[in-house]
Amino acid sequence: MCQLRHLYPEIPMHRIRSAIVVFSFVVLAVVALTACGTKPAVAPIVPLAPTPNGAAPAQANQAACKQAEDAGMAAYQAGDFAAAVTLAQEAVTADPTCPDGWEFYRLATMTRAAGEYLRNLPAARYQITPEQSLAALKQDYVVVDVREPDEFTAGHIEGAVNVPLRSITQQLNALPAEKDAPILLYCRSGHRSAHALVILRMLGYTNVYHVQGGFEAYQTYLKEHVEPAATPTPIPTPMPEGDADDCS
């Protein structure tokens, strides 16, 4: 301050003090504004740590969904629909974004409901015997094999189309457009076809039936009643009278 007084003798001392105070406030304001305008350091984005099996968490969820879905499909094909629903729930819980998991969950719950419906039906409701099925084949029935493709390839009723039970709600285009058209379903033993029947009737198909006993009963009936019997042993032609040796 003494140096300033020496440099500017004409300026009163109180004005010099005021100028110093104002300058100090200006410096502090500039420092504060500079600090506010400084961008904070941004931490680098660290990728999600892999899980022990080497997949990212999302991939692990997808793998868990696929595993539960595969186990559920095995239970479904074995006819254990309650277990299939439980495993389908596990699949969509593991990965809620999996469309296949939700589609399987819908199918499993619908089939389980069909099973509960079947338990309250009379035993022979909507069933036709193998003998009656032969007559149906000569009419306008659309015959649908609800077994798996490998079962269908191994042998099936002539003229049947293969629509597996597990995908029947996705292949409705294989069925007649008219929902009152006659449809005949069958599987190996009648279990899966019964569930397919209920599903289709729930969807509005009013003229659906299935073969009692399935393809096994159908084949047995053919062997016992339709296929030609074994050729009988030829009966020797009797010799004409007078051609035999005369021993007298």
Catalytic residues: 187
**Amino acid identity of 152?**
F
Which of 43, 122, 108 lies closest to 79 in space, CA to CA? 108
Q: Please tell me the distance from the alpha carbon of residue 129 to that of residue 206, in angstroms, as a whole number.
A: 19
Measure the CA angle with vertex 64, ends 62 and 69; round to 5°. Answer: 95
Residues 6+ apart with CB under 8 A from 246: none
Q: Which of 97, 101, 99, 61 is nearest to 84 (CA)?
A: 101
Specify the long-range contacts of residues 2-10, CB closer than 8 Å, at least 24 apart. none
Cα 149 from Cα 183, distance rounded (Å): 19
